[in-house]
Structure 1
Amino acid sequence: MNWWLRAHWAAWCAGTVVLMLVLAPLLVGSSLPIPSLFAGMAGALPVPLMLPAIPAAMALYAAQRVPHGYELTSVRPQSRYRTVWIVGICFLAAAAAVLEMVVIDFPLALAVVRNLAGYIGTGMIVQYLAGRQYGPIAVAVLPPTCALIGLGSGGRPFSWTWPLHPTDSPWAAAAALGLLALGLTVGPRRPPWRSGGHT
Protein backbone atom coordinates (compact mmCIF):
# COMPACT_ATOMS: atom_id res chain seq x y z
CA MET A 1 0.00 0.00 0.00
CA ASN A 2 2.84 2.41 0.81
CA TRP A 3 4.37 1.73 -2.60
CA TRP A 4 1.00 2.36 -4.25
CA LEU A 5 0.59 5.70 -2.49
CA ARG A 6 4.09 6.83 -3.50
CA ALA A 7 3.66 5.66 -7.09
CA HIS A 8 0.37 7.54 -7.41
CA TRP A 9 1.62 10.78 -5.84
CA ALA A 10 -0.89 10.59 -2.99
CA ALA A 11 0.90 13.18 -0.86
CA TRP A 12 1.23 15.62 -3.76
CA CYS A 13 -2.44 15.22 -4.66
CA ALA A 14 -3.54 15.83 -1.07
CA GLY A 15 -1.28 18.88 -0.99
CA THR A 16 -2.88 20.37 -4.11
CA VAL A 17 -6.33 19.88 -2.57
CA VAL A 18 -5.26 21.76 0.55
CA LEU A 19 -3.63 24.48 -1.58
CA MET A 20 -6.86 24.81 -3.58
CA LEU A 21 -8.89 25.36 -0.42
CA VAL A 22 -6.37 27.89 0.86
CA LEU A 23 -6.34 29.90 -2.36
CA ALA A 24 -10.09 29.76 -3.07
CA PRO A 25 -11.15 32.13 -0.24
CA LEU A 26 -8.33 34.50 -1.11
CA LEU A 27 -9.52 34.68 -4.73
CA VAL A 28 -13.24 34.77 -4.00
CA GLY A 29 -13.70 38.08 -5.82
CA SER A 30 -11.54 37.18 -8.80
CA SER A 31 -12.79 36.02 -12.18
CA LEU A 32 -11.40 35.38 -15.64
CA PRO A 33 -13.13 37.36 -18.42
CA ILE A 34 -14.31 34.94 -21.11
CA PRO A 35 -16.59 35.95 -24.00
CA SER A 36 -19.96 34.25 -23.83
CA LEU A 37 -21.40 33.24 -27.20
CA PHE A 38 -25.05 33.05 -26.13
CA ALA A 39 -25.42 35.42 -23.18
CA GLY A 40 -25.16 38.60 -25.24
CA MET A 41 -22.60 39.90 -22.79
CA ALA A 42 -19.04 39.30 -21.64
CA GLY A 43 -18.82 36.22 -19.49
CA ALA A 44 -16.68 35.72 -16.41
CA LEU A 45 -15.39 32.52 -14.87
CA PRO A 46 -15.03 32.77 -11.06
CA VAL A 47 -11.51 31.65 -10.19
CA PRO A 48 -12.56 29.62 -7.09
CA LEU A 49 -14.85 27.49 -9.28
CA MET A 50 -12.04 26.87 -11.76
CA LEU A 51 -9.35 26.07 -9.18
CA PRO A 52 -10.57 22.49 -8.55
CA ALA A 53 -9.50 21.60 -12.09
CA ILE A 54 -5.87 21.66 -10.92
CA PRO A 55 -6.05 18.98 -8.18
CA ALA A 56 -8.55 17.03 -10.30
CA ALA A 57 -6.16 16.93 -13.25
CA MET A 58 -3.27 15.92 -11.00
CA ALA A 59 -5.32 13.16 -9.36
CA LEU A 60 -6.37 11.82 -12.78
CA TYR A 61 -2.81 11.83 -14.06
CA ALA A 62 -1.42 10.28 -10.88
CA ALA A 63 -4.08 7.57 -10.83
CA GLN A 64 -2.89 6.34 -14.23
CA ARG A 65 0.88 6.67 -13.76
CA VAL A 66 1.43 2.95 -13.18
CA PRO A 67 1.21 0.93 -16.42
CA HIS A 68 -2.00 -1.04 -16.72
CA GLY A 69 -0.13 -4.32 -17.09
CA TYR A 70 1.49 -3.97 -13.68
CA GLU A 71 -1.87 -3.54 -12.00
CA LEU A 72 -3.36 -6.49 -13.87
CA THR A 73 -0.61 -8.79 -12.56
CA SER A 74 -0.71 -7.43 -9.02
CA VAL A 75 -2.11 -9.68 -6.31
CA ARG A 76 -3.59 -6.67 -4.52
CA PRO A 77 -6.88 -4.95 -5.44
CA GLN A 78 -5.45 -1.98 -7.32
CA SER A 79 -8.80 -0.72 -8.59
CA ARG A 80 -10.16 -0.76 -5.04
CA TYR A 81 -7.18 1.25 -3.85
CA ARG A 82 -7.84 3.82 -6.57
CA THR A 83 -11.51 4.10 -5.68
CA VAL A 84 -10.81 4.55 -1.97
CA TRP A 85 -8.10 7.09 -2.77
CA ILE A 86 -10.35 9.20 -5.03
CA VAL A 87 -13.17 9.11 -2.48
CA GLY A 88 -10.66 10.03 0.22
CA ILE A 89 -9.55 13.09 -1.74
CA CYS A 90 -13.15 14.24 -2.03
CA PHE A 91 -13.80 13.65 1.67
CA LEU A 92 -10.65 15.57 2.58
CA ALA A 93 -11.83 18.49 0.47
CA ALA A 94 -15.34 18.32 1.93
CA ALA A 95 -14.07 18.32 5.52
CA ALA A 96 -11.83 21.31 4.82
CA ALA A 97 -14.68 23.12 3.06
CA VAL A 98 -17.02 22.67 6.01
CA LEU A 99 -14.28 24.03 8.26
CA GLU A 100 -13.93 27.07 6.01
CA MET A 101 -17.68 27.65 6.06
CA VAL A 102 -17.72 27.61 9.86
CA VAL A 103 -14.52 29.52 10.54
CA ILE A 104 -14.34 32.13 7.78
CA ASP A 105 -17.84 31.95 6.28
CA PHE A 106 -16.55 31.18 2.78
CA PRO A 107 -19.72 31.08 0.63
CA LEU A 108 -18.26 29.08 -2.27
CA ALA A 109 -16.66 26.34 -0.16
CA LEU A 110 -19.18 23.63 -1.05
CA ALA A 111 -19.25 24.71 -4.70
CA VAL A 112 -15.49 24.27 -4.87
CA VAL A 113 -15.76 20.72 -3.49
CA ARG A 114 -18.70 19.99 -5.78
CA ASN A 115 -16.65 21.02 -8.79
CA LEU A 116 -13.68 18.96 -7.64
CA ALA A 117 -15.85 15.84 -7.47
CA GLY A 118 -17.49 16.59 -10.81
CA TYR A 119 -14.21 17.32 -12.56
CA ILE A 120 -12.67 14.09 -11.30
CA GLY A 121 -15.73 12.11 -12.38
CA THR A 122 -15.75 13.73 -15.81
CA GLY A 123 -12.06 13.02 -16.27
CA MET A 124 -12.42 9.37 -15.27
CA ILE A 125 -15.24 8.91 -17.78
CA VAL A 126 -13.13 10.51 -20.53
CA GLN A 127 -10.17 8.29 -19.59
CA TYR A 128 -12.37 5.24 -19.91
CA LEU A 129 -13.85 6.26 -23.25
CA ALA A 130 -10.90 7.91 -24.98
CA GLY A 131 -7.67 7.07 -23.16
CA ARG A 132 -5.91 7.82 -19.92
CA GLN A 133 -4.02 10.83 -21.30
CA TYR A 134 -7.23 12.68 -22.15
CA GLY A 135 -8.71 12.88 -18.66
CA PRO A 136 -6.60 15.80 -17.40
CA ILE A 137 -7.05 17.59 -20.74
CA ALA A 138 -10.83 17.28 -20.51
CA VAL A 139 -10.79 18.68 -16.98
CA ALA A 140 -8.64 21.62 -18.08
CA VAL A 141 -10.95 22.63 -20.94
CA LEU A 142 -14.26 22.02 -19.15
CA PRO A 143 -14.47 25.26 -17.07
CA PRO A 144 -13.64 27.70 -19.90
CA THR A 145 -15.92 25.77 -22.26
CA CYS A 146 -18.79 26.13 -19.81
CA ALA A 147 -18.17 29.88 -19.57
CA LEU A 148 -17.88 30.20 -23.35
CA ILE A 149 -21.04 28.37 -24.46
CA GLY A 150 -22.86 27.57 -21.22
CA LEU A 151 -24.44 30.91 -20.32
CA GLY A 152 -27.88 31.94 -21.53
CA SER A 153 -29.59 35.30 -21.62
CA GLY A 154 -28.78 37.46 -18.65
CA GLY A 155 -25.71 35.38 -17.89
CA ARG A 156 -27.66 32.53 -16.30
CA PRO A 157 -25.95 29.16 -16.70
CA PHE A 158 -27.70 26.43 -18.65
CA SER A 159 -28.65 23.31 -16.72
CA TRP A 160 -25.74 21.30 -18.10
CA THR A 161 -23.13 23.86 -17.00
CA TRP A 162 -23.16 22.61 -13.42
CA PRO A 163 -19.65 24.02 -12.64
CA LEU A 164 -21.06 27.55 -12.91
CA HIS A 165 -24.19 27.02 -10.81
CA PRO A 166 -24.44 28.64 -7.37
CA THR A 167 -23.51 26.76 -4.24
CA ASP A 168 -27.11 25.98 -3.27
CA SER A 169 -28.02 24.42 -6.64
CA PRO A 170 -29.29 20.87 -5.99
CA TRP A 171 -29.06 20.05 -9.69
CA ALA A 172 -25.38 20.96 -9.83
CA ALA A 173 -24.63 18.88 -6.73
CA ALA A 174 -26.54 15.90 -8.15
CA ALA A 175 -24.78 16.23 -11.51
CA ALA A 176 -21.32 16.37 -9.93
CA LEU A 177 -21.97 13.41 -7.62
CA GLY A 178 -23.50 11.46 -10.50
CA LEU A 179 -20.45 12.05 -12.67
CA LEU A 180 -18.16 11.00 -9.83
CA ALA A 181 -20.18 7.83 -9.20
CA LEU A 182 -20.18 6.96 -12.90
CA GLY A 183 -16.46 7.63 -13.13
CA LEU A 184 -15.73 5.38 -10.16
CA THR A 185 -17.94 2.70 -11.72
CA VAL A 186 -16.30 2.62 -15.15
CA GLY A 187 -12.80 3.33 -13.87
CA PRO A 188 -11.91 -0.29 -12.95
CA ARG A 189 -13.33 -1.69 -16.20
CA ARG A 190 -11.37 -2.49 -19.31
CA PRO A 191 -11.61 0.55 -21.61
CA PRO A 192 -13.20 0.02 -25.03
CA TRP A 193 -10.16 1.55 -26.76
CA ARG A 194 -7.83 -1.14 -25.38
CA SER A 195 -8.44 -4.03 -27.73
CA GLY A 196 -5.57 -6.16 -26.55
CA GLY A 197 -2.27 -6.26 -24.75
CA HIS A 198 -1.29 -4.51 -21.54
CA THR A 199 -0.54 -0.84 -21.80
Structure 2
Amino acid sequence: MNLWIRVRHIGPLAAITTVALAAAVAVGRTAIPLPSSTDGLLQGIPLAYVLPLAPVSVLMLGLTHGPRAHEDTAVRPLVGYDTALIAVLCAVTLAIGGGTALLGIQPLGPAVARNIVGYAGMALIGLRTLGPHASMAVPSALLLASALVGAPGTWWAWPLGGPAVPETWVLALTMLAIGLTAFVTSPTRR
Protein backbone atom coordinates (compact mmCIF):
# COMPACT_ATOMS: atom_id res chain seq x y z
CA MET A 1 0.00 0.00 0.00
CA ASN A 2 2.85 2.37 0.80
CA LEU A 3 4.30 1.76 -2.65
CA TRP A 4 0.94 2.51 -4.26
CA ILE A 5 0.67 5.75 -2.28
CA ARG A 6 4.17 6.77 -3.35
CA VAL A 7 3.79 5.74 -6.99
CA ARG A 8 0.39 7.41 -7.34
CA HIS A 9 1.78 10.64 -5.87
CA ILE A 10 -1.02 10.91 -3.31
CA GLY A 11 0.83 13.56 -1.25
CA PRO A 12 1.60 15.83 -4.21
CA LEU A 13 -1.92 15.25 -5.58
CA ALA A 14 -3.47 16.38 -2.29
CA ALA A 15 -1.12 19.36 -2.12
CA ILE A 16 -1.67 20.57 -5.69
CA THR A 17 -5.44 20.06 -5.39
CA THR A 18 -5.44 22.16 -2.22
CA VAL A 19 -3.31 24.84 -3.85
CA ALA A 20 -5.48 24.89 -6.99
CA LEU A 21 -8.71 25.19 -5.00
CA ALA A 22 -7.22 27.87 -2.73
CA ALA A 23 -5.90 29.75 -5.75
CA ALA A 24 -9.33 29.56 -7.38
CA VAL A 25 -10.80 31.18 -4.29
CA ALA A 26 -8.04 33.80 -4.18
CA VAL A 27 -8.21 34.83 -7.84
CA GLY A 28 -11.99 35.14 -7.89
CA ARG A 29 -13.12 36.16 -11.34
CA THR A 30 -9.68 37.26 -12.55
CA ALA A 31 -9.61 36.56 -16.28
CA ILE A 32 -6.89 35.46 -18.66
CA PRO A 33 -7.14 37.28 -21.99
CA LEU A 34 -7.07 34.84 -24.90
CA PRO A 35 -7.73 35.51 -28.56
CA SER A 36 -11.23 34.62 -29.64
CA SER A 37 -12.75 34.27 -33.07
CA THR A 38 -16.29 34.69 -31.74
CA ASP A 39 -16.05 37.37 -29.07
CA GLY A 40 -13.95 40.11 -30.60
CA LEU A 41 -10.21 40.32 -30.36
CA LEU A 42 -9.71 39.05 -26.80
CA GLN A 43 -11.94 36.98 -24.59
CA GLY A 44 -11.22 36.77 -20.90
CA ILE A 45 -11.69 33.34 -19.37
CA PRO A 46 -11.62 33.04 -15.59
CA LEU A 47 -8.30 31.73 -14.28
CA ALA A 48 -10.36 29.55 -11.96
CA TYR A 49 -11.45 27.51 -15.02
CA VAL A 50 -7.83 26.82 -16.00
CA LEU A 51 -6.52 25.89 -12.53
CA PRO A 52 -8.25 22.45 -12.48
CA LEU A 53 -5.79 21.23 -15.12
CA ALA A 54 -3.06 21.13 -12.44
CA PRO A 55 -4.51 18.47 -10.10
CA VAL A 56 -5.70 16.41 -13.06
CA SER A 57 -2.16 16.49 -14.47
CA VAL A 58 -0.76 15.16 -11.19
CA LEU A 59 -3.50 12.51 -11.09
CA MET A 60 -2.58 11.35 -14.58
CA LEU A 61 1.12 11.33 -13.71
CA GLY A 62 0.39 9.05 -10.78
CA LEU A 63 -1.88 6.73 -12.75
CA THR A 64 0.71 6.26 -15.49
CA HIS A 65 3.88 6.32 -13.41
CA GLY A 66 3.88 2.83 -11.92
CA PRO A 67 6.10 0.04 -13.17
CA ARG A 68 3.86 -1.90 -15.56
CA ALA A 69 5.36 -5.31 -14.75
CA HIS A 70 4.73 -4.86 -11.03
CA GLU A 71 1.20 -3.65 -11.52
CA ASP A 72 0.32 -6.51 -13.86
CA THR A 73 1.31 -9.06 -11.21
CA ALA A 74 0.06 -7.24 -8.11
CA VAL A 75 -2.02 -9.21 -5.65
CA ARG A 76 -4.22 -6.23 -4.84
CA PRO A 77 -6.71 -5.01 -7.46
CA LEU A 78 -4.92 -1.81 -8.43
CA VAL A 79 -7.59 -0.78 -10.92
CA GLY A 80 -10.03 -0.71 -8.00
CA TYR A 81 -7.69 1.44 -5.93
CA ASP A 82 -7.08 3.75 -8.88
CA THR A 83 -10.80 4.07 -9.57
CA ALA A 84 -11.41 4.86 -5.90
CA LEU A 85 -8.66 7.51 -6.05
CA ILE A 86 -10.36 9.18 -9.01
CA ALA A 87 -13.76 9.00 -7.29
CA VAL A 88 -12.39 10.47 -4.04
CA LEU A 89 -10.65 13.32 -5.88
CA CYS A 90 -13.88 14.17 -7.70
CA ALA A 91 -16.07 13.85 -4.59
CA VAL A 92 -13.79 15.97 -2.41
CA THR A 93 -13.48 18.72 -5.00
CA LEU A 94 -17.25 18.72 -5.58
CA ALA A 95 -17.84 19.04 -1.83
CA ILE A 96 -15.30 21.84 -1.45
CA GLY A 97 -16.49 23.64 -4.59
CA GLY A 98 -20.09 23.43 -3.48
CA GLY A 99 -19.14 24.57 0.02
CA THR A 100 -17.35 27.65 -1.26
CA ALA A 101 -20.47 28.66 -3.17
CA LEU A 102 -22.86 27.93 -0.30
CA LEU A 103 -20.73 29.97 2.10
CA GLY A 104 -20.47 32.80 -0.41
CA ILE A 105 -16.67 32.53 -0.60
CA GLN A 106 -16.33 31.79 -4.32
CA PRO A 107 -19.36 31.65 -6.63
CA LEU A 108 -17.26 29.84 -9.28
CA GLY A 109 -16.36 27.06 -6.81
CA PRO A 110 -18.82 24.54 -8.26
CA ALA A 111 -17.58 25.27 -11.79
CA VAL A 112 -13.98 24.67 -10.67
CA ALA A 113 -15.02 21.32 -9.20
CA ARG A 114 -17.04 20.50 -12.31
CA ASN A 115 -13.98 21.19 -14.45
CA ILE A 116 -11.82 18.89 -12.32
CA VAL A 117 -14.41 16.15 -12.81
CA GLY A 118 -14.72 16.76 -16.55
CA TYR A 119 -10.99 17.19 -17.15
CA ALA A 120 -10.30 13.96 -15.25
CA GLY A 121 -12.76 12.11 -17.46
CA MET A 122 -11.30 13.59 -20.61
CA ALA A 123 -7.75 12.79 -19.49
CA LEU A 124 -8.81 9.18 -18.86
CA ILE A 125 -10.25 9.07 -22.38
CA GLY A 126 -6.96 10.49 -23.63
CA LEU A 127 -5.07 7.84 -21.66
CA ARG A 128 -6.99 5.11 -23.42
CA THR A 129 -6.85 6.65 -26.91
CA LEU A 130 -3.56 8.58 -27.02
CA GLY A 131 -1.48 6.84 -24.38
CA PRO A 132 0.07 7.91 -21.08
CA HIS A 133 2.27 10.71 -22.38
CA ALA A 134 -0.44 12.59 -24.27
CA SER A 135 -3.47 12.04 -22.03
CA MET A 136 -3.56 15.64 -20.80
CA ALA A 137 -3.69 16.90 -24.39
CA VAL A 138 -7.42 16.12 -24.57
CA PRO A 139 -8.69 18.38 -21.74
CA SER A 140 -6.10 21.04 -22.55
CA ALA A 141 -7.13 21.09 -26.20
CA LEU A 142 -10.82 21.35 -25.30
CA LEU A 143 -10.15 24.26 -22.96
CA LEU A 144 -8.10 26.06 -25.59
CA ALA A 145 -10.65 25.37 -28.34
CA SER A 146 -13.45 26.55 -26.04
CA ALA A 147 -11.61 29.80 -25.44
CA LEU A 148 -10.66 30.35 -29.09
CA VAL A 149 -13.83 29.41 -30.96
CA GLY A 150 -16.47 28.57 -28.37
CA ALA A 151 -19.20 31.15 -28.19
CA PRO A 152 -20.84 31.66 -24.79
CA GLY A 153 -23.51 29.02 -24.39
CA THR A 154 -21.98 26.64 -26.93
CA TRP A 155 -22.78 23.14 -25.69
CA TRP A 156 -19.34 21.68 -26.35
CA ALA A 157 -17.52 24.56 -24.60
CA TRP A 158 -18.68 23.32 -21.19
CA PRO A 159 -15.40 24.20 -19.35
CA LEU A 160 -16.29 27.88 -19.75
CA GLY A 161 -19.94 27.55 -18.74
CA GLY A 162 -21.21 29.05 -15.53
CA PRO A 163 -21.66 26.98 -12.39
CA ALA A 164 -25.46 26.99 -12.69
CA VAL A 165 -25.72 25.73 -16.28
CA PRO A 166 -27.12 22.16 -16.12
CA GLU A 167 -25.78 21.14 -19.56
CA THR A 168 -22.21 21.76 -18.41
CA TRP A 169 -22.69 19.41 -15.49
CA VAL A 170 -24.23 16.70 -17.67
CA LEU A 171 -21.32 16.90 -20.11
CA ALA A 172 -18.65 16.90 -17.38
CA LEU A 173 -20.22 13.92 -15.61
CA THR A 174 -20.63 12.13 -18.94
CA MET A 175 -16.93 12.67 -19.67
CA LEU A 176 -16.08 11.20 -16.27
CA ALA A 177 -18.33 8.18 -16.83
CA ILE A 178 -16.88 7.51 -20.29
CA GLY A 179 -13.35 8.06 -18.99
CA LEU A 180 -13.80 5.72 -16.04
CA THR A 181 -15.31 3.07 -18.30
CA ALA A 182 -12.38 3.39 -20.70
CA PHE A 183 -9.93 3.24 -17.79
CA VAL A 184 -11.47 0.20 -16.09
CA THR A 185 -11.95 -1.77 -19.31
CA SER A 186 -8.52 -0.99 -20.75
CA PRO A 187 -6.66 -4.23 -21.54
CA THR A 188 -3.56 -2.85 -19.84
CA ARG A 189 -5.43 -2.13 -16.57
CA ARG A 190 -6.78 -5.61 -15.80
Q: Give the TM-score taking structure 1 as reference length.
A: 0.88
- Cα displacement (A) at 1:179: 0.5
Q: How many residues align?
A: 189
- Give the aligned partner of residue 158 of structure 1: 154
Look up the equivalent residue of 2:118 and give its one-letter code: G
- Cα displacement (A) at 1:41: 4.3
Segments of 5+ residues of structure 2 without an aligned counterpart are: none
- Cα displacement (A) at 1:98: 2.8
8 Å contact from structure 1 (residues 52, 112) kept in 2 = yes
- Cα displacement (A) at 1:142: 3.0
- Cα displacement (A) at 1:87: 0.6
- Cα displacement (A) at 1:139: 3.0
- Rounded Cα–Cα distance in structure 2 between residues aligned with 1:67 and 1:150: 39
Look up the equivalent residue of 2:78 and give its one-letter code: Q
Look up the equivalent residue of 1:90 and give its one-letter code: C
Higher RCO, 1 vs 2 (CA within 8 Å, ≥6 residues apart): 1
8 Å contact from structure 2 (residues 25, 105) kept in 1 = no
- Between 1:140-149 and 1:51-60, the stretch displaced more is 140-149
- Give the aligned partner of residue 65 of structure 1: 65
- Give the aligned partner of residue 2 of structure 1: 2
Look up the equivalent residue of 2:160 and give its one-letter code: L
- Cα displacement (A) at 1:125: 0.1
- Give the aligned partner of residue 95 of structure 1: 95
8 Å contact from structure 2 (residues 63, 82) kept in 1 = yes
8 Å contact from structure 2 (residues 45, 147) kept in 1 = yes
- Cα displacement (A) at 1:99: 2.7
Look up the equivalent residue of 1:27 and give its one-letter code: V
Look up the equivalent residue of 1:189 and give its one-letter code: T
- Give per-residue Cα distances to partners, 1:96-141, cap 9 Å, x unaligned: 2233223343110100000000001001101101111111233333
- Give per-residue Cα distances to partners, 1:52-110, cap 9 Å, x unaligned: 01111111111110133321111110111100001111111122223322334311010
Look up the equivalent residue of 1:79 and give its one-letter code: V
Segments of 5+ residues of structure 1 without an aligned counterpart are: none
Query: In the TM superposition, what are the counterparts of 1:3-18 in structure 2 within 5 Å?
Result: 3-18=3-18
Look up the equivalent residue of 1:3 and give its one-letter code: L
- Rounded Cα–Cα distance in structure 2 between residues aligned with 1:113 and 1:186: 21
8 Å contact from structure 1 (residues 57, 139) kept in 2 = no
- Give the aligned partner of residue 186 of structure 2: 190
- Rounded Cα–Cα distance in structure 1 between residues aligned with 2:39 and 2:101: 31
